[in-house]
Amino acid sequence: MWGGHGRIINMTIIAAADGSALGNPGPAGWAWYIDDNNWGSGGWDHGTNNMGELQAVLELFRATAKEPETELKILCDSQYAINCISKWMPGWKKKGWKKSDGKPVLNQEILRELDTAIVGRKYTFEWVKGHAGHQLNEEADDRARAAATAHQSGKTPDPGPGYLGSSAPATAGAPAPQSETDCAAEENASLDVTGTVFELEQGLLDAQVRTNFTEVNDFLHPSYQEICRDGSLLDVSTVRTILESSGTLPETGPVQLLTARLLDTSLVLIAYRMNPANSPVLVCSSWWQQTNAGWKLRFRQETVENQA
């Protein structure tokens, strides 16, 4: 049992896992962090935020596999990673790692490895607000971004000491790796947030998700409203009614991102074009970050684009 700044208490490992992609996609990194004696990081020359988030969790499971009876409490600021592992992965696995439209699930290789790594393990996830001063989350985020920056510069990222085990002495957090300038760090943090939210939007457009109210509702703010392309108005209750009667929400299609902006620490605005059945639709969405529930879709509007 560790005390003070230690993060292994009563045989529970408390760790943060995070990913970072500069440009999303772009040079990408992942990191998990328990304390200064127990952390790891890595990355790729090209990847996405979601790849980094999932890989960080996978590497945490791998690093702690020598203590399989010790429970893991995993802190993530990515709802996508939490939902993939704890909610959606079993259904995808049953369908042969394909979505309901027959297309393969994204990040399938990492998910398959996660499916193997979690067998027999005791673990829980806890969502934490990103870029909000949470100590473990900030330490993991800084190391993930440092790994992505290293790949951007053609360097090998610091892999960290790995997991030394519950017998290692605990130390207070050391100064976190810094990006080259504060301005660049703020810009990268903004890209991380908007990238994560846009990938949540894409998750909501997934044909498999759009047939299941429980999964759709995971994305929605309690006060969610949407103006559909046909002029109808949706809220949480009407979405439930539609899915219980017809079984699916309106068709989506390929997406072209137009803009994703962090307007406030708790508000992201996204605009994009999608092409359901070759009929272009312009979409504007606003996502709000709730303290205890992560990013949620508050408002969305679809407008059929006039074609010349």
Instruction: Kindly state whether residues 21 and 148 are assigned to the same domain.
Output: yes
Q: Are 48 and 24 in contact (CB under 8 A)?
A: yes
pLDDT of the residue at 49:
85
> Would you say 53 is a known binding-site residue?
yes
Last residue of a domain, one of 178, 203, 229: 178
Q: What is the pLDDT along the chain (308 residues), one digit of tens a residue?
A: 444 444 554 578 999 999 998 877 789 999 999 999 999 999 999 988 889 999 999 999 999 999 988 999 999 988 888 988 988 888 888 889 987 667 788 899 999 999 999 999 999 999 887 777 789 999 999 999 999 999 999 999 999 999 987 654 444 343 344 444 444 554 555 656 787 788 788 888 877 778 888 888 888 999 999 999 999 999 999 999 998 887 778 888 888 889 989 888 889 999 999 988 768 999 999 999 876 667 899 999 999 987 55
The rounded distance, in Å, linking the Cα atoms of 139 and 16 is 8
Among residues 217, 271, 274, the alpha carbon closest in space to that of 240 is found at 217
- Count: domains in the chain: 2
pLDDT of the residue at 5:
43
pLDDT of the residue at 187:
52
Instruction: Kindly state whether residues 85 and 208 are assigned to the same domain.
Output: no
Asked whether residue 1 is domain-assigned, the answer is no
Domain holding 18, by residue range, is: 8-178
Instruction: Kindly state whether residues 21 and 153 are assigned to the same domain.
Output: yes
**Tokens representing residue 185 in the block:** 């760090």
Asked whether residue 189 is domain-assigned, the answer is no
pLDDT of the residue at 167:
52
Give one DSSP letter per residue of 22-72, joined into a string. Answer: SSSSEEEEEEEEEETTEEEEEEEEEE-HHHHHHHHHHHHHHHTTTSTTSEE
Residue in the structure block whose two tokens are 């699916």:
248
pLDDT of the residue at 171:
41
> Would you say 141 is a known binding-site residue?
yes
Give one DSSP letter per residue of 149-160, joined into a string. Answer: HHHHTT-PPP--
pLDDT of the residue at 253:
83
> Would you say 18 is a known binding-site residue?
yes
Q: Are 257 and 234 in contact (CB under 8 A)?
A: no
Instruction: Kindly state whether residues 69 and 165 are assigned to the same domain.
Output: yes
- For position 236, which CATH number holds? 3.10.450.50
The rounded distance, in Å, linking the Cα atoms of 233 and 205 is 18
Catalytic residues: 18-19, 53, 77, 131, 141
Q: Are 58 and 86 in contact (CB under 8 A)?
A: no
> Would you say 158 is a known binding-site residue?
no
Instruction: Kindly state whether residues 75 and 140 are assigned to the same domain.
Output: yes
Entry pTM: 0.66
Asked whether residue 236 is domain-assigned, the answer is yes
Instruction: Kindly state whether residues 28 and 131 are assigned to the same domain.
Output: yes
- For position 138, which CATH number holds? 3.30.420.10
pLDDT of the residue at 175:
38
pLDDT of the residue at 190:
60
pLDDT of the residue at 101:
64
